[in-house]
Amino acid sequence: MNDDFLHRLRKPPRPAFAARLRAQLGRQSTSPPPPRVPSRAHTLLTLLLLGGTAFALTAVAIRGLPPSLVALYQYATVWIGAERTTAPAHRVGNQGMGQGPRWNASASSSAHGAALHGGTTQAAAPAMSARPAATSSAGSPGGSASVGGAPAGSQVAQISVVSSWSAYPYAAAVAERVNGTTGTAGRPIAPHIDVSVRDSDVWPGPMCSGGANAPDLAYAFEPLGSVSRRPCPRNTSGGNPSPVIAIPVGYETVLLARSPLYGELDLTRRQIFLALAKWVPVPARAGTVHENPSATWRQIDAALGPEPIAFMGPPLSSAAGRSMIELLMEGGCNTYPWIAALESTHPGRYARICRTVRTDGVYVEVSGLAAPTLLAEPNAVGIFGLHGIFGPAGRSELSMNGLAVSKLDGTEPTQQDIQSGAYPGSRALYLFNRGRVTSNVVFSLLEGEFLPHPDWALVPAPMQELRADYTAGLTP
Amino acid sequence: MAWVFAKELDWDALYSDQLPRIYNYFRFRVGNDADAEDLTARTFESAWRARERYRDDLARFSTWLFTIAHNVAVDFLRSRRAQVPLDAVEELAAAGTPEDDATRDSDLERLSILAARLSEREQELIALKYGAALDNRQISTLTRLSESNVGTILHRAVQTLRSQW
């Protein structure tokens, strides 16, 4: 052990964590901090010093004055005193100076970030309210703004988007692409998109709230379904009276495959959790965990083979790695009711049990895992984030490359089962629109160059069908 | 006499610069990533809430931030010590000998186990030096120890760790 060894133990924070924390702080910046107030002792000391000095000086100065000037001085003192009583009101306008540093809460390009950071009046306002024209223009059915081809002179200044934590990287990536795209003469081609994160569910939550600060769009993962028109609950009185349209953007999917040498796998999420997690439940003692002792599949389930447990999968900090942990490990972890209950009572402990992958070499992080690598390592189970690689028969491209694709909880990951919600290693990313943004803008966000599909392991939704559904009768 | 407000700070730059330092400081203090993330978030949230109280004429921003981090760590370690009997849900290292556990654990966890035998001050200095990657001068400002004293304590602490590794 030496200095180098100790320094090498450092590692960068997970990007997802860094982004989440940054967004959390950005969200806090929408409420300005309380103005700085001097302490009582500080104020008292200052007043005593000033008062004493003034008294000493004036006592000397007026001693030699004629009585008329003394009277004038006394009048002036009263007048200045009266002015001083109003002085704090005059300083209210300067409170912006006291707001101190601002986070750029949006996931915007640097140009937009600079605009939000600037010392303008708008920059001093909360980010969510800095969209003066969004309500009027974007809300009109014939609104002129459209992403990916908006005419110049669009009146929409900003589209505000809220996102759940898990959907935030996706929402931020789309916003970054839109905000970073400029047209002729460097002018933005679309309204600026401002993304913030919500702790609680976005539906009905902010989408059914009223007021000018309510967001225009929202992203969240939900169980699968098609385009739906959802009325806001009645108890959101004073909130949004219009139904909200929920559109599935794509299907985040994780699947497992290995060399066909040992045949196809049919694993459950619980078995995967027991094979991958660092801490697993002690079989004979409910409520306790110990470090994962399993080295072979048979130790997890006698019906499984004697092969050693070995995984190859995406880097844990990547989007696909995050999907794997949330869909497979947490899915299996939650089959233990006592662990699932920890999520609300002891979230730190829940995270440590359900989201910590073992570090004893069983899981090997591989960027860009491909079939030849797995064919050369027949024991290893490959974990893939799936993004639109279905063949004509609806089976994944992986099976066409000679790999044996594992069922998950008895279901094969076919396109049909993913889009129907039957495959448990999948979930849908939804975009919620409360009706202030036109369908042209919405579908511009869902299609084409702004979609980060390859990076985010999303199986694309059948967008043409969705657009048809949307325009056929669901448009508010 | 004007009341001095905090200057406009480039929080984006400070966040990018300080986040890895604070995060690794906590990793070295608590020995696992999940708690380190939790404590890092707590530190930045505290700093962000108190940003109006930061006085750049009194301390560098990193010094101010690490003072907050130190307090967060002290609170956490105190509460963790108090909770040890209640945390039986995780039978960490209960199934084998310390040697077996140390072999299985990652290097950081192993370091954490060994560092727990050091004094509180030595643990703090190890985390500041190798986790936060501060130099001895910065550590001396933070801890109010002399620079040479910091170097001496660190040297002894690393020697102790090496002898037990």
Q: Is B116 helix (H, G, I), strand (E, B) or coil?
A: coil
Helix (H) or strand (E) holding A290: strand A289-291
In A, minimum Cα distance to B128 occurs at: A7
pLDDT of residue B120: 84
Instruction: Indicate if the pLDDT at residue A300 is higher than 70.
Output: yes
Q: Is A167 helix (H, G, I), strand (E, B) or coil?
A: coil
pLDDT of residue A381: 93
Q: Do A288 and B3 touch (CB under 8 A)?
A: no
Closest CA to A289 of B109, B86, B91: B91
Q: Do A21 and B131 touch (CB under 8 A)?
A: no
What pLDDT, in 10s, does the model give residues A244-290? 888 877 777 888 988 888 778 899 999 999 999 999 998 877 788 89
Chain centroid to Cα A123, Å, comes to 22
Instruction: Indicate if the pLDDT at residue A363 is higher than 90.
Output: yes
pLDDT of residue B75: 81
Is the CA virtual torsion A359, A360, A363, A364 positive or negative? Answer: positive
Poorest-pLDDT segment among A301-310, A318-327, A331-340, B16-25 = A318-327
Instruction: Indicate if the pLDDT at residue A327 is higher than 50.
Output: yes
In A, minimum Cα distance to B34 occurs at: A352
What pLDDT, in 10s, does the model give residues A198-251? 756 677 777 888 777 788 898 887 766 667 788 887 765 567 777 888 887 777
| Residue B17's pLDDT band (cuts 50, 70, 90) | confident
Q: Is B30 helix (H, G, I), strand (E, B) or coil?
A: helix
What dihedral do alpha carbons A201, A204, A208, A209 form, nearest 10°? Answer: -40
Q: Which tokens hold the place of A83?
A: 């002015």
pLDDT of residue A287: 81
Q: Is A430 helix (H, G, I), strand (E, B) or coil?
A: strand
pLDDT of residue A120: 27
Alpha-carbon gap: B144 to the closest alpha carbon of chain A (Å): 23
pLDDT of residue B1: 31
Chain centroid to Cα A141, Å, comes to 29
pLDDT of residue B14: 80
pLDDT of residue A319: 66
Q: Do residues A163 and A220 make contact, with C-beta atoms less than 8 angstroms apart?
A: yes
What pLDDT, in 10s, does the model give residues A68-122? 333 333 333 332 223 233 333 332 233 332 333 333 333 333 333 222 222 222 2
Q: Do A287 and B89 touch (CB under 8 A)?
A: yes
pLDDT of residue A224: 60
- The stretch B74-102 carries a mean pLDDT of 49
Q: Do B130 and A7 touch (CB under 8 A)?
A: yes
Cα A298 to Cα A307: distance, rounded to the nearest angstrom: 8
Alpha-carbon gap: A44 to the closest alpha carbon of chain B (Å): 13
- The stretch A418-435 carries a mean pLDDT of 83
Instruction: Indicate if the pLDDT at residue B144 is higher than 60.
Output: yes
Alpha-carbon gap: A409 to the closest alpha carbon of chain B (Å): 28
In A, minimum Cα distance to B26 occurs at: A10
In B, minimum Cα distance to A279 occurs at: B90
Who's near A320: CB < 8 A, 6+ residues apart? A254, A313, A314, A383, A384, A385, A457
Residues in chain A closer than 8 A to B165 (CB atoms):
1
Closest CA to A385 of A461, A449, A315: A315
Poorest-pLDDT segment among A31-40, A119-128, B79-88 = A119-128
pLDDT of residue B8: 58
pTM of the entire structure?
0.45
**CA separation (Å) from A359 to A222, A332, B103, B107?**
31, 19, 12, 11
Q: Which tokens hold the place of A383?
A: 């974990």
Q: Which position has the higher pLDDT, A195 or B105?
A: A195
Average pLDDT of chain A? 68
Q: Is B98 helix (H, G, I), strand (E, B) or coil?
A: helix
Please report the ipTM that was assigned to this predicted complex: 0.79
Instruction: Give the CA radius of gyration of chain A.
Output: 30
- The stretch A346-371 carries a mean pLDDT of 87
Q: What are phi and psi of B32, to 5 degrees?
A: -150, 155
Poorest-pLDDT segment among A16-25, A137-146, A402-411 = A137-146
Q: Do B5 and A17 touch (CB under 8 A)?
A: no
Most confident of A174-178, A179-183, A193-197: A193-197
Q: Which position has the higher pLDDT, B98 or B60?
A: B60
Q: Give the residue from A10, A46, A117 with the most B CB atoms within 10 Å of its CB, the best one to mutate.
A: A10
Q: Which tokens hold the place of A128?
A: 């969510």
Instruction: Indicate if the pLDDT at residue B24 is higher than 50.
Output: yes
pLDDT of residue A453: 47
Instruction: Indicate if the pLDDT at residue B154 is higher than 50.
Output: yes
* Share of residues in chain A with pLDDT > 70 (%): 61
pLDDT of residue A377: 87
Q: Which position has the higher pLDDT, A86 or A306?
A: A306
Instruction: Indicate if the pLDDT at residue B85 is higher than 60.
Output: no
Q: Which tokens hold the place of A358?
A: 């073992």
Question: Would you tell me how many other CB atoms lie within 10 Å of the CB of residue A249?
Answer: 26
Residues in chain A closer than 8 A to B6 (CB atoms):
100-101
pLDDT of residue A54: 67
Closest CA to B101 of A283, A213, A293, A427: A293
